[in-house]
Structure 1
Amino acid sequence: MRSSLLQQAAFRSFFAGRLVSLLGSSMAPVALAFAVLDASGSGHDLGVVLAAHMLPLLAFLLVGGAVADRFPRRTVLVTAHLGAAFTQGAVAALLLTGRYSLPLVAALEFLNGVLAAFTTPALRGIVPQLVAKSLLRQANSILGSASNATKILGPSMSGVLVVTVGSGPAIAFDAFTYLVAAGFLARLSLTGASEASRRNTVSADIRDGWSAFRAIRWVWVGTLSFCLLNLVQTGTWQILGPQLTRQLSGETTWGFVLSVRGVGMLASSLLMYRLVVRHLLRFGQLAGVLGALPLIALGAQVHAPWLIAAAFVAGLGSSVTAVAWDTSLQEHVPAHVLSRVSSYDDLLSYVAIPVGQLCVGPLAEAFGAFRVTAVAGAVSATATLIPLASRAVRRLPHAQPDTSAPAADSCPAA
């Protein structure tokens, strides 16, 4: 039962910390965008601030993975959350005092991006230290549900705060959530991830992580699939999606499409708690094909109800894929290299996003936006299915649920 996991003190503290942090993080982009636009009146400034956050996230992911495997992940997470509270709090202070400065805000967001690079690998690596292997899917389902719920509620709450009290207080709230999350995470009592790795340098740990990543066939095959998927799907959806939807059905439809997709993701993550399949990764790859439906529907210039339905189904599929992938990594990648392998997975997946974002505009001008969108949908579906050609992906087993006690290295909150 879902309550059984939340009755475990360690997982309950971790879940509470994640829920609070995710809520703040889902509110921050809206508040930051309006804050920069209001203070500078320049879309150029906003682009600089967003890039200042994204670039260090990519640049330091491998270091973050090595550190998360090298030191206790609780320490890494608490430190990163406290640092994020400082950076976001400083941004809020600049806005609240009317002292907006592009170099200062960009520098603070750069630091925030560096901290995120340490947070992401540690988060994926810490879950197996909290619950038994047979409960990882349920744990990821609960965490995914929290993430998807905040994605639905957070932007709306942020919009209300921006309108009523301003963007500065909204960002200050994000900083406060990082402090609260750090408090919950500090309550975790876990064993160190890998004491032996401290005998190596960080660069040696990064190289060892690459060796481990290459050695696990299903991991690098899946990562290459996500890389291609992000290359053709993310930029097309973010840039051409609203443009084409407005042409076909009006601006209101795009809001419905995003909301319904979020509802689909939330519903799917809840269903994954109960769903039991023998080959979870294979099931996740098959479900991922559904994520291409909105692009195909847009390319086919269908009416709004069909596009909205496609978005809902896509949300169902994408959440299944996310839970299946995270659970498979945590079940089958050795704990002492899990964060490093995850960091290579994230880096190779994320680096394709800005490339796709830069290419989609020129391609749309050259070949037509609707045609590019339809092709992107077809390539997305194909990219999701390609890993199934590998027996390692098709046959990867999934730990079946049981009534086991928490993992040995999981302790009640101190």
Structure 2
Amino acid sequence: METAARVPGTRTAPLRSAAFRRFVLAGLISATGSAMAPVALAYAVIGQGGGAGSLGLVLAVNTVPTIAFLLVGGVLADRMSRSRILLVGNLGAAVAQGALAAVVLTGTASTGSIAACGFLSGVAVAFTVPAGQGVVNQLVEPGQLQRANALVRLPTNAVRVLGPVAGGLVVALCGPGWALAWDALTFVIAALLLHGLRLDATVAVDGVLGALRSGWSEFRSRTWLWTYTLAGTVVVAAWLAGFQLLGPLLAARQYSGAGSWGLVQGAFALGLLAGALVCLWWKPYRLLAVAVCTASLLFLPLTAMGLALPLPAVLCAALLAGVGLDVAIVAWTTAFQLHVPEAELGRAAAFNSVGERCAIPLGYLLAALAAGAWSDRGVLLVCAGVIVAATLLNLCVRDVYRVNRTTPG
């Protein structure tokens, strides 16, 4: 097993590093299970007699602990070896998914047992997300960060195109329990790969509460960071409300139902894959401004569906939205890694993630309330307008144009 370390001044391509290849492979293997898990989870709930209420409860129980423990995960990511946190987090997720697979396969699953496993899985995510955000910059030189971030996302985006289809086939042929079992196994394999990274830990000089206070102070002092997080929370809430919640309903009424919605989802996934490819050669100087602008393309499919445009137009809009979102993610991640000190990356990532995670229930709640007053198409257009407005307001922040590429390449 090698100890990952950067060699100052090198221009080696990321994939020539065995440690980076190990990290990418771990993410790819884990993604194959995670892409199947939502389909399997839904049918596991249905299989034990649950309906929309039971599934909503399970999803909520999975989300709440992630939000609750994210800040603790951020503190630990700045105090401990991030590779060790990822190892433990992936093993914890493997235990949770393995237990869920066991109760489903043995026919003893209930809403309570499924929710309990989801709770444990949510806790694991709270620790792996902040730790994962600070790994790439420990493996590659600053000049290779954008390419490395794109390479990390490229295989996982490819899996997103085929994963749900494969998950549906596995669930249909073998049952949801076996798809969940595969998800658990992928976490184990990923944990073993990540164990080989053995990244050094940052030396901690204060307690947990002191680390949280100093982390918040640093987060708040960077105007570009908290304004992007705030705008991102609004954008994510509007996107989830419009696309994920109301999108399938509009597809059922305006187009051909599940088949057309599957095409829209596929176009969006292909866009994500194309966006990662774009980031391999396009290296914009104004990283944060590009992230803000390209993320705003999410308004396109909402507008297309809200205006009841033909399905081909919706597919083109979803494709462009996917491209824009992945370019935004890579540009944002690169800017974040370049402009936040390594010793603060975990806590800063945690504060940013809390905002995005809170957008999930917020978006669904607001969409449910608005649907009672307006038509679904009207709500979609409002969501599109909210995304555009949040983008324009964020572009009014002067610091957005100061967070730029600091190295060539």
Counterpart in 1 of 2:8? none
Aligned residue for 1:60, secondary structure, equals helix
For each residue in 1:348-395, what CA deviation from the matched residue of structure 2 results, as whole angstroms up to 9, or x when unmatched?
122022111012122122122211211210111221232221221112
Shift of 1:146: 2.0
Q: Secondary structure at the match of 1:98?
A: coil
**1:383 and 1:161 mapped to 2: Cα distance?**
40
Aligned to 1:220: 226
- Corresponding position of 1:236: 242
Q: Which amino acid aligns with 1:240?
A: L
Equivalents in 1 of 2:322, 2:400: separation in Å?
23
Distance 1:382 1:131 in 2: 36
Q: How far did 1:43 drift?
A: 2.9
Q: Distance in 2 between matches of 1:137 and 1:384?
A: 22
Q: Which stretch shifts more, 341-350 or 95-104? A: 95-104
Query: What is the identity percentage for the equivalent residue pairs of Structure 1 and Structure 2?
Result: 39
Q: 1:250 aligns with which of 237, 242, 256?
A: 256
Work out which of the residue numbers 356, 360, 374 in structure 2 matches 1:367. Answer: 374
Match status 1:202 vs 2:208: yes
Say if 1:289 and 1:385, in contact at 8 Å, map to a contact too: no
In 2: Cα distance, 1:130 partner to 1:385 partner: 35
For structure 2, the residue ranges without an aligned partner over 5 or more in a row are 1-10
Q: After superposition, where does 1:104-183 map in structure 2 within 5 Å?
A: 104-183=113-192
1:396 aligns with 2:403: yes
Question: Is 1:53 the equivalent of 2:62?
Answer: yes
Aligned residues: 398
Indicate conservation of the 8 Å contact 1:276/1:400, yes or no.
Answer: no
- Measure, in 2, the Cα distance between the counterparts of 1:68 and 1:327: 18
Q: Which amino acid aligns with 1:204?
A: G
| Alignment-derived partner of residue 379 in structure 1 | 386
SS of 1:302 mapped into structure 2: coil
Q: Which moved more, 1:99-108 or 1:2-11?
A: 2-11
Counterpart contact for 1:89–1:172, Cα < 8 Å: yes
TM-score after normalising by structure 1: 0.93
Which residue of 85, 93, 106 maps to 2:94?
A: 85
- Measure how far apart 1:3 and its partner are: 9.5
Instruction: Deviation per CA, 1:73-123: give whole Å up to 9, x if none.
Output: 011000111111111111111111111133222112101101100000000
Instruction: Report what 1:74 is aligned to.
Output: 83
- For 2:391 and 2:37, the matched residues in 1 are separated by 31
Superposed CA deviations along residues 116-144 of structure 1, whole A, max 9, x for unmatched, are 00000000011110111111101110112
SS of 2:373's equivalent in the other structure is: helix
**Amino acid in structure 2 at the alignment position of 1:38:** G
Task: Look up the match of 1:29.
Answer: 38
Contact 1:278 1:400 in 2 (8 A): no
The answer as to whether partners of 1:272 and 1:320 remain within 8 angstroms in 2 is yes
C-alpha displacement of 1:64: 0.7
Question: How far does residue 401 in structure 1 lie from its aligned partner after superposition?
Answer: 4.2
In the aligned structure 2, how far is the partner of 1:3 from the partner of 1:85? 34
**DSSP 3-state at the match of 2:329:** helix
Once residues 78 and 244 of structure 1 are traced to their aligned partners in structure 2, the CA distance between those partners, rounded to angstroms, is 42
Which letter maps to 1:309?
C
The match for 2:266 is 259
Residue 293 of structure 1 contacts residue 314 of structure 1 at CA under 8 Å; is this kept in 2? yes
Mapped pair 1:305 → 2:305: no
Q: In structure 1, how many angstroms separate the alpha carbons of the residues matched to 2:284 and 2:331? A: 10
Q: Which residue of 2 aligns with 1:284?
A: 291
Going from structure 1 to structure 2, the CA distance change for 1:107 and 1:255 (only over 3 Å counts) comes to: same
The TM-score, its normalising length taken from structure 2, stands at: 0.94
User: Does structure 2 conserve the Cα–Cα contact (< 8 Å) formed by 1:284 and 1:324?
Assistant: yes
Answer whether contact 1:268 1:320 (CA < 8 A) is retained: yes
CA RMSD in angstroms comes to 1.5
Q: Which residue of 2 aligns with 1:321?
A: 328
Residues 200-231 of structure 1: per-residue CA shift (max 9 Å, x gap): 22222112111111011111111111011122
Shift of 1:155: 1.0
Counting only pairs closer than 5 Å after superposition, residues 344-355 of structure 1 correspond to structure 2 as 344-355=351-362
For residue 399 of structure 1, report the CA deviation from its aligned partner. Answer: 3.4
Deviation at 1:147, TM superposition (A): 2.3
| Structure 1 alignment gaps of length 5 or more | 403-414
Shift of 1:172: 0.4
Whether the aligned pair in 1 keeps the contact of 2:239 and 2:298 (CA below 8 Å) is no
Question: In structure 1, how many angstroms separate the alpha carbons of the residues matched to 2:356 and 2:92?
Answer: 25
Tell me which amino acid in the other structure corresponds to 1:322.
I
Q: Which stretch of the first structure deviates more once superposed, 124-133 or 44-53?
A: 44-53
Rate the CA distance shift 1:160–1:274 in 2: closer, same or farther, 3 A: same
